[in-house]
Chains A and B, each alone.
Chain A
């Protein structure tokens, strides 16, 4: 099976073999292809890059799971009122129609509960991820053309939630995750494989491999933390995990640690799987700075089949 991270700047693929129940996946191949510059739409550039990978590496997998690029997904917290006659789906649809510009018939969304009703109110909060059906169909048609059957399409923060659950399985408290790309990133708060909140942000291009706009990242994280504390009264977050470009830059980690007074980690995603699950040649070929880019792809591979939302 292929775990495909359709990142905004590149396509990253893990060819994984799913072992028996509980054994977890083992890595067979690993590949990255940067997106070609041009005026073509993002799905076409993603599919072209994926075709290059499949051709170059002679991948014969038939099934895949993929993460939709975060810049093609809209996320929003929606308060559901059970007292209204409309079901939650209709309430979410109405909310999304007010904030999204595209046709409601082209709307495709999924959601999960992030807060339970309290004593004062029966309302509860759900986190919604929405995208365009036509965009998804473009990806699915492209996969089909490449002789791949896509069995699951997710968003990157949910994949990271599954990865974090394997990296720190004993942690009960919410964990913050920062994923940094070339020009975009996001901050997400996850708890027990469930994304409680996530917010994308844009970044200036990195300089000499170091994260640019540290203040910008810090501000975005600060906003998210403030929202979480204010809306869901979650103030138990004690650690943040950083993945992506420059995530292992000591200056970046020191900045985050000093600003938020939290434990900042930048683990290798491959720490989440058994030592023997990745071939030695791949392990030795890939540096820790490169390995962190495969966090989303590995998180996809670690997601339980038929798992719960969030």
Chain B
């Protein structure tokens, strides 16, 4: 048989067929790649949502944990304070020292400030740590009432347990609205043990 189709036409047709084939292959490859990308995207979206849910769950749990810790800390603090209050209630030294101050004051005296330092007096504590002091500041009507206050403190401090040593302290006259008063500042300490 004869072939009368020109060679260039056959080459062009073969080229077009190849191009169409490559385009088809390319389209198929693009579709597969697209499907893969879509699948990957969907998988990633699922994982992201799952991660977000886990993070949300963790955050809610974390808040609960923080709240629990805070509650625990508050309870511990409350317990400490209760313990401290309980310790203060049972602190006989402190009560005794405050009793000395209250029994010594008369109607002519006014207490402005009291500071009690009572270090560890629990049984078993070291002797050097058994120190205490009472600092009182206040106003009295006159120099006479000041002297009487010092005498009362001294007398009461000698009889009380524990005892305290009352020094003269500092005093000064100060004019106020209703006349001249005596302002005093006394720091009482435990009596010094006399050495040999």
Contacts and interface: CB of A to CB of B under 8 A. Distances in A.
Interface stretch (B4-12, B92-100, B117-125, B137-145): B4-12
B2 A129 contact: yes
A220 interface: no
Interface residues of B, number: 8
Contacts of B1: 152, 154, 158-159, 161-162, 193, 303, 307-310
A43 to B, nearest CB: 13
B3 interface: yes
Interface in B4-25: 4-6, 9, 13
Nearest to A135: B4
A125 interface: no
A158 B3 CA distance: 10
Interface string A237-268: 00000000000000000000000000000000
Contacts of A146: none
Contact of B4 (A112, A136, A161): A136
Given A112-B2, A154-B3, 18 more contacts: A68-B4, A108-B4, A108-B6, A131-B4, A136-B4, A140-B5, A151-B5, A152-B1, A152-B3, A152-B5, A153-B3, A154-B2, A158-B1, A162-B1, A193-B1, A309-B2, A310-B1, A310-B2
Contacts of B13: 149, 151
Interface in A265-310: 303, 307-310
Interface size class of A (residues with CB under 8 A): 20 to 34
Contacts of B9: 137, 140
A136 B3 CA distance: 11
Contacts of B6: 108, 133, 136-137
B4 A155 contact: yes
A137 B9 CA distance: 9
A159 B3 CA distance: 11
Interface of A: 68, 108, 110, 112, 129, 131, 133, 136-137, 140, 149-155, 158-159, 161-162, 193, 303, 307-310
Contacts, number: 48
B119 to A, nearest CB: 110
Contacts of A162: 1
Contacts of A150: 5
Contacts of A154: 1-4
Contact of B2 (A133, A140, A158): A158
B115 to A, nearest CB: 111
A306 to B, nearest CB: 10
A154 B4 CA distance: 6
A149 B4 CA distance: 14
A284 B186 CA distance: 144
**Which of B2, B4, B6, B9 has most A Cβ within 10 Å?**
B2
B158 to A, nearest CB: 130
Contacts of A136: 4-6
Contact of B3 (A133, A137, A193, A309): A309
A153 B13 CA distance: 14
A258 to B, nearest CB: 33
